Amino acid sequence: MKWYRLAAEKGDADAQYQLGEMFFLGRGVRQDDEEAVRWYRMAAEQEHDSAQHAIGTMYQWGRGVPQSYPEAAEWFRRAAMQGHWKAHCLLGDMYALGQGVPRSYVTAFAHLTISAAQAGPECVAEKRDWLAERMTSAEIARAERMAAECAEQHYRGCEF
């Protein structure tokens, strides 16, 4: 804990993220969601993708911060722009449900396709199947093109 805190206080994003994890899980410290958010935010503002995903999750569930789907979606978007597969998966969920973003099955399907390409289709197969039942073949093709263009960019900087 001591070395993480020293490095984190000097601005090391990895150490800040690890401190956030320690406070979130109560590992070696008293569990404290607000303190976890504080350290996650420091790392996230330095473009640490896992910290951006973590703070998005905190906003999604209202842990240590007021619950806010739009704020969660923004942090997931920032992590996804760096290729974070879990953030793509969660953004897919949010677009499918219209939580914090406009409902868009095409965008949801694209995010889930990207997540499946990075982590394996089993993590999102049921979600994609559910969406496909509600989409036209043209919408599915458009979503697959969006995902393919993102793959060409190595899953970085994909904005849709």
Q: Closest Cα to residue 105, out of 64, 60, 136?
A: 136
Average pLDDT, the chain: 94
Q: What number does CATH give the domain 1-67? A: 1.25.40.10
Encode pLDDT of 97-144 as tens digits: 999 999 999 999 999 999 998 887 777 888 999 999 999 999 999 999
Q: Where are the domains of the chain?
A: 1-67, 84-160
Provide mean pLDDT across the span 56-85. Answer: 97
Encode pLDDT of 8-18 as tens digits: 999 999 999 99
Residue 93 has pLDDT above 80, yes or no: yes
Assign residue 120 a region: left if phi > 0, alpha if psi is -120 to 50, beta otherwise? Answer: left
Q: Is the separation of the CB atoms in 76 and 56 below 8 Å?
A: yes
Of the two residues 42 and 151, the one the predictor is more confident about is 42
Please compute Rg for the chain using Cα positions. Answer: 17
